[in-house]
Amino acid sequence: MDSTTRHILDLSRRGLLRGAAGLAALAAIAPARQAGAQQAFRTWPFTLGVASGDPAPDGFVLWTRLAPEPLTPDGGMPRVALPVTWEVAEDRGFARVAASGTAIARPELAHAVHVEVAGLNAARPYFYRFRSGTEVSRVGRARTAPAPGATPARLRFVTAGCQHFEHGHFTAWAHIAEEADLDFVFHYGDYIYEYRGRVPGQPGWGPRVRQHIGEETISLADYRLRYAQYRTDPDLQAAHAAHPFLPSYDDHEVDNNWAGPHSEEDGRGRHPVAVPPEVFALRKAAAFQAWYEHMPVRAAAIPRGPDITAYRRMDFGTLARVNVLDTRQFRDDQPCSDRNGQPCAEVPRPDAQMLGTTQEAWLLAGMTDSPARWNIMAQQIPMMRRLLRGGGIAMDKWDAYPAARQRLLDGMVDRRTPNPVVLSGDVHVALASTIRRRPEDAESTAVAVEFTATSATSEGDGADMTPAGEDTLRRNPDMVLYNARRGYCVSEATAAQMTTEFVTLPFVTREGAPRMTAATFTIEAGQVALRTGGG
Ligand code: FE
Ligand code: CA
């Protein structure tokens, strides 16, 4: 034990050594620490686990955060920067180390560490761990993407999201952790929910099996604590440790149904008192910073105030191109005061924006001469035509932005983009559908398929079928699945076909639910049709 370091950390934590004085004191002993000497923590600092993400052919992002007391302000850390060493090995026992280095855990980023590892071999699993002083993290498993131009035999991935902490246990994540040989987990968002903790007996949305700490999240400290609370869940930690993630966000990482500069409280309809955009921008900046701090994403996603670039593209050899999209930050406000139902006069506006002009052009550029057999749009909200009860539409989804959807579909068709596949979530039910060239015209040709993953927990146990589900299937003949249980999707693509299994759980308000299969669908490459069954 390095007693000098322990002394300084203890003093810092008591607040006796602050700011510049604390940093200077630590800097003075930094050479010793970089040489492998210890720093002292009262308790193990890797309480939030480890994660990997955004695989490339030669590497991936590694993540951890030092938080010896994860549910306290600052995670129980002194406000000083500390070195964290990392190792990547070919074997779980770390006999064959392939890369290693030192990163700095900074108080400005909640002592989160993001390492962009490069120089590794393509298309193979690696193991990783972190060390700070004498403390060692758990071991995580990551996987590099196939080399450019290579054709892997198959690609396997999970689509999941919507994990309201109060509504259920994270059993879905326990099962995802056990899924074999995943190339990645696409998280479509609603990783946290911003809502205040609901006290026992208080009525509210969904069941309540455990409680959010604190009020509705507004400040950076609020969001950090919310992520920490979610990330202390052992099932979620196990999934992160087992597979690389492709994180994105939807609305609840910031505020329910926010849209571009507009908060949910936009001064219209149900929310007559508006939060001005310049005030909402402060909340977005806090929310995006906390999202960045807790996700295994690249430095390109460090927010600049209320602006963040989270849309990005990853290729998996010639088999799949994955476009991770942002359907929140650049969209118009929801039309018709965000009230679901019959389209009002705003819906057909010709300049409707869902991705914004820059992202839309970027996406279509990536659809032009794509080298990939499967061109995946990994995004948040249903793109399929989805008529609700009474024949209305949902104002938060692509259905209420028809001009934007038409530009995208026309652009894909014009470019002859091979096998477009849309991934989505957000609606807390599992859906599978084809998307027609003109979605409002039931006679036009099908041009894409869509898999909507159900929620991991949000809305509690659910049921396989509901009256709303029967009505939805009746009104939407292209929809071949509706299931209102909790779960996720597992997809497997080869050059010839893509199979998606809809995994469901019989319950989430109790622990230990078994993994069940609600349905499996197969698409043959070159055809836009969903066939029931696998293989
Ligand atoms: Fe949700
Ligand atoms: Ca959502």
Using CA atoms, how far residue 66 sits from 53, 80, 246, 418, 530, in Å, is 18, 12, 22, 44, 46
Report pLDDT digits (tens) over 176-233.
Answer: 999 999 999 999 999 999 999 999 888 889 999 999 999 999 999 999 999 999 999 9
| Arithmetic mean of pLDDT, 29-44 | 57
Distance CA 42, CA 105 (A): 17
Q: Which domains does the chain have, with CATH numbers?
A: 3-143 (2.60.40.380), 155-532 (3.60.21.70)
Mark 478-494 as b/e (b = at least 16 C-beta within 10 Å): bbbbbbbbbbbbbbbbb
501 CA to centre of ligand 1 in angstroms: 20
Mark 77-102 as b/e (b = at least 16 C-beta within 10 Å): bbbbbbbbbbbbbbeeebeeebbeee
348 CA to centre of ligand 2 in angstroms: 23
338 CA to centre of ligand 1 in angstroms: 16
274 CA to centre of ligand 1 in angstroms: 23
pLDDT of residue 265: 87
pLDDT of residue 270: 80
Provide the 8-state DSSP code for 180: S
Higher pLDDT, 357 or 36: 357
| Arithmetic mean of pLDDT, 393-402 | 98
Residue 23 has pLDDT above 50, yes or no: no
Which amino acid appears at position 213 of this protein? I
187 CA to centre of ligand 1 in angstroms: 12
| pTM confidence score | 0.93
467 CA to centre of ligand 2 in angstroms: 22
Distance CA 32, CA 30 (A): 5
Residue 29 has pLDDT above 60, yes or no: no
The percent of residues above 70 in pLDDT, for the chain, comes to 93
Report pLDDT digits (tens) over 312-346.
Answer: 999 999 999 999 999 999 999 999 999 999 999 99
48 CA to centre of ligand 1 in angstroms: 23
Residue 65 has pLDDT above 90, yes or no: yes
Average pLDDT along the chain: 93
Ligand nearest to the CA of 252: 2
Structure tokens at 372: 């990939």
| Arithmetic mean of pLDDT, 25-38 | 41
Distance CA 138, CA 234 (A): 12
Higher pLDDT, 157 or 268: 157
188 CA to centre of ligand 2 in angstroms: 9
Q: Are 231 and 241 in contact (CB under 8 A)?
A: no
| Arithmetic mean of pLDDT, 92-110 | 98
Q: At a CB cut-off of 8 Å and minimum separation 6, what does 357 contact?
A: none
522 CA to centre of ligand 1 in angstroms: 26
Ligand nearest to the CA of 381: 2
Residue 276 has pLDDT above 70, yes or no: yes
395 CA to centre of ligand 2 in angstroms: 13
The pocket of ion ligand 1, defined by CB under 5 A, consists of 162, 190, 458
Residue 11 has pLDDT above 50, yes or no: no
403 CA to centre of ligand 2 in angstroms: 22
Distance CA 28, CA 333 (A): 52
Instruction: Identify the band that residue 123 occupies on the pLDDT scale cut at 50, 70 and 90.
Output: very high
Q: Which of 35-39, 172-176, 287-291 has the lowest mean pLDDT?
A: 35-39
Residue 99 has pLDDT above 50, yes or no: yes
Residue 25 has pLDDT above 90, yes or no: no
Provide the 8-state DSSP code for 496: S
248 CA to centre of ligand 2 in angstroms: 12
Q: Can you tell me which residue has the tokens 């602050």?
A: 18
489 CA to centre of ligand 2 in angstroms: 17
Higher pLDDT, 7 or 204: 204
Report pLDDT digits (tens) over 361-382.
Answer: 999 999 998 999 999 999 999 9
Ligand nearest to the CA of 428: 1
Report pLDDT digits (tens) over 503-528.
Answer: 999 999 999 999 999 999 999 999 99
pLDDT of residue 84: 98
Distance CA 236, CA 510 (A): 16
249 CA to centre of ligand 2 in angstroms: 9
Report pLDDT digits (tens) over 404-429.
Answer: 999 999 999 999 999 999 999 999 99
Ligand nearest to the CA of 455: 1
Q: Which of 16-30, 97-111, 331-345 has the lowest mean pLDDT?
A: 16-30
Provide the 8-state DSSP code for 145: P
Residue 357 has pLDDT above 50, yes or no: yes
DSSP string over 184-200: EEEE-S-SS--PPPPPT
Radius of gyration of the chain (CA): 23
pLDDT of residue 39: 62
pLDDT of residue 481: 98
Euclidean distance between the first and the last CA atom of the chain, given in angstroms as a whole number: 57
Q: Which of 267-281, 403-417, 453-467, 501-515 has the lowest mean pLDDT?
A: 267-281
